[in-house]
Amino acid sequence: MLQTRLLDIAVREFGAKGIDGASTRGIAAAAGTAMSSITYHYGGKEGLYLAAADHIAAQMAREMDGSLDVQHEFASNDPIAARKHIHHLLSTLADKMAADATGDWSLFIMREQLAPSKAFDRIYAGVMGQMLEMLANLVCIASGSRDPRAARIMTLTLFGQVMILRGSRAACLKLLDRDAIEPDDLTDIKARLRVNTDAMIDRLTADERGTQ
């Protein structure tokens, strides 16, 4: 579909060059459409940029499809089930961050992380924000913590362990002495994620019991 191709190219160009460096004329030409198509559908470069952000949010939702369905854990308030889903969520995210397919929109997101605009608000309003809120809630259930701020701080550290696979890809490959993250590497990384996650949840549980 032409609009999907146009948005895919826009994400790639904006991610690589930023909104100021990317050319809407070049984006239109690469997509095989006229410049007037961008003006008609999106109003111009800023409109296309926001549409690219919405496109990324939709892609992220498809990539994480099913991973955010944890109604049972919230309804039952089950610490074991909550911990299990935290592991599943982080493992799924690690798979996505290690995959080359996420490269184009990851560059776009990293630019927005450094200099947030309305585009970041649109991305965060989608699966990114939902996932972080869910992780924080699951941490509370898994640890028995009644301190939402402590759970959110832990969520940042859990999330950061996975995001390094994309945000610091070059450093990861240098340290592992690899040209690409191999399946065995990813298996070991996810095993370490589980160990780290359990240790942090156990520590928060102990802290909670110590305050009672």
Q: What is the mean pLDDT of the chain?
A: 90
pLDDT at 1: 78
pLDDT at 73: 53
Q: Is 191 found in the same domain as 91?
A: yes
How many domains does one find in the chain? 2
Phi, psi of 97 (to 5 degrees): -70, -25
Q: Is 204 found in the same domain as 166?
A: yes
Q: For the chain, what percent of residues have pLDDT higher than 90?
A: 75
The string of DSSP letters for 63-125 reads HTTTTT--HHHHHHT-HHHHHHHHHHHHHHHHHHHHSGGGHHHHHHHHHHHHS--HHHHHHII
Q: Whole domain around residue 32: which residue ranges?
A: 1-56
156-175 residue pLDDT tens: 999 999 999 988 999 999 99
Q: Is 113 found in the same domain as 24?
A: no
Residue 152 scores a pLDDT above 60: yes
Residue owning tokens 């579909």: 1
Q: Is 69 found in the same domain as 52?
A: no
Q: Is 84 found in the same domain as 18?
A: no
Q: Which of the residue ranges 72-76, 141-145, 160-164, 171-175 would you say has the lowest mean pLDDT? A: 72-76
CATH number at residue 197: 1.10.357.10
